[in-house]
Amino acid sequence: MGLIKEIKSKEYRVGITPTGVAALIARGHQVHVEQGAGIGSGFSDQSYEQAGAKIVGTKQAWDQELVVKVKEPIEPEYRYLKQQIVFTYFHLAGVPWALTEALLAGKTSAVAYETLEDENGRLPLLAPMSAVAGNMSVQMGCHYLACCNGGKGVMLGSVLGKRHGNVLIIGDGVVGSHAARTAYGLGANVTVAGLFPENAARLQHEISSEIGFVISDPATIAEHVRSADLVVGAVLTHGARAAHVVTEAMVKTMQPGSVVVDVSIDQGGCIETAHLTTHEAPVFEKHGVVHYCVGNMPGAYPRTSTLALTDATLPYLLKLADKGLSALEQDARFAKALNTYQGYITCLPVAEAYAMQEHFRAFPAAFANA
């Protein structure tokens, strides 16, 4: 197995901790760690060697039957994509077609963290990073609302018992729940827009009865966007490109210096005026509104993110290491993680995002006799 050093801009996370490597070694697997892979998260090469891994160069780390990363391969890494299993976040429906094309050409088995489901239909490997991003969305909103950072000068916080700042969170899943908890904890007025009324009771029980909840429809979203100081886009459709729930016309109604944070940007974004940014240049202004749309938000807190991610991924990684793709054949929900295989797209929402249904084949049924 190979553990890759991330080369995406300002990405410091790593796919496995030394403790995770030790668990793999104990199962009889060899682990090749690319030199410097864990340094950004506070894990030295020596700590991986002490866990039993071998420190190697880039090519040797990639040249393994199973490769583990955090973020999707980027263009300089395409040449390494061969007939191996790559276990990482891909977000294929929201990134340029070139990556999917490279995976198909290399006949790579792309096993995506973000489409793996548990027995309840939830996304257990997306959840830890969604939680971090949800917390961060409000922190970044606070930062950019300051006048000195281009914002309107509204604090999200309680001052002598009075709440200040209006936060609208669109989406009531893991991102939305964590964003709501953080915003309310700071002292802001918080409204969550969701599709399921029963989630109102959950949020109000878990956080506060003062949390507002509205049903997410265009008219209601438009009304609340107009008065929001911070809008957090937290919409997710499993494996598919995000829908635009905040239109450009809605953004135009916001007061100058307001902030939007589109956490859905990995899947294409749920705010029409959003486009992908990086930690090096995280924001831009459109119609007087500050937009924060960083695609790898949790990379800003790599130590916490790596520990949380490994806790979630390690049980599945051990299955992949032990059984290869047979582990997916034996578990239909694990099989949903497979996005490409033998030169075909195996995740229908990805094929639909690019109108490439002719490249879709279901796994494992379509390959049973291959």
What does the block give as tokens for 225?
């966007």
* 198 occurs within a structural domain: yes
* 123 occurs within a structural domain: no
* 125 occurs within a structural domain: no
Do 317 and 278 share a domain, yes or no? Answer: no
Do 96 and 160 share a domain, yes or no? Answer: no
Do 175 and 196 share a domain, yes or no? Answer: yes
User: How confident is the model at residue 236, as a pLDDT?
Assistant: 80
* 120 occurs within a structural domain: no
Do 162 and 182 share a domain, yes or no? Answer: yes
Do 178 and 281 share a domain, yes or no? Answer: yes
* 42 occurs within a structural domain: yes
Give the active site residue among 91, 178, 244, 291.
91
What does the block give as tokens for 364?
């494992």
Q: Which of 295, 319, 350 is the last residue in one of the domains?
A: 295
Strand 85-88 relative to strand 289-292: parallel, antiparallel, unpaired?
Answer: unpaired
Domain count, the chain: 2
Instruction: Mention every residue, 6+ apart, whose C-beta is less than 8 A from residue 321.
Output: 1, 24, 27, 29, 66
Q: Which of 252, 275, 295 is the last residue in one of the domains?
A: 295
Query: Which domain does 150 fall in, by range?
Result: 133-295
Is 262 marked active-site?
no
Do 96 and 110 share a domain, yes or no? Answer: yes
Give the active site residue among 172, 229, 262, 266.
266
Q: Tell me, what CATH number does 24's domain have?
A: 3.40.50.720
Is 205 marked active-site?
no
Do 88 and 140 share a domain, yes or no? Answer: no
Do 139 and 106 share a domain, yes or no? Answer: no
What pTM value is reported for the model?
0.92
* 151 occurs within a structural domain: yes
User: How confident is the model at residue 369, as a pLDDT?
Assistant: 53
Do 185 and 63 share a domain, yes or no? Answer: no
Do 341 and 278 share a domain, yes or no? Answer: no
What does the block give as tokens for 197?
């009324």
**DSSP character string of 193-232:** EES-THHHHHHHHHT-TT-EEEE--HHHHHHHHHH-SEEE
Q: Which of 295, 311, 328 is the last residue in one of the domains?
A: 295
What does the block give as tokens for 119?
């027995």
Do 159 and 245 share a domain, yes or no? Answer: yes
Question: What does each of the 370 residues of the chain score in pLDDT, given as a tens digit?
Answer: 999 999 998 999 999 999 999 999 999 999 999 999 999 999 999 999 999 999 999 999 999 999 999 999 999 999 999 999 999 999 998 889 999 999 999 999 999 999 999 998 899 999 999 999 999 999 999 999 999 999 999 999 999 999 999 999 999 999 999 999 999 999 999 999 999 889 999 999 999 999 999 999 999 999 999 999 999 999 987 767 778 999 999 999 999 999 999 999 988 899 999 999 999 999 999 999 999 999 999 999 999 999 999 999 999 999 999 999 999 998 999 999 999 999 999 999 999 989 999 999 998 876 765 5
Do 154 and 289 share a domain, yes or no? Answer: yes
210 φ, ψ (degrees, to nearest 5): -85, -10
* 126 occurs within a structural domain: no
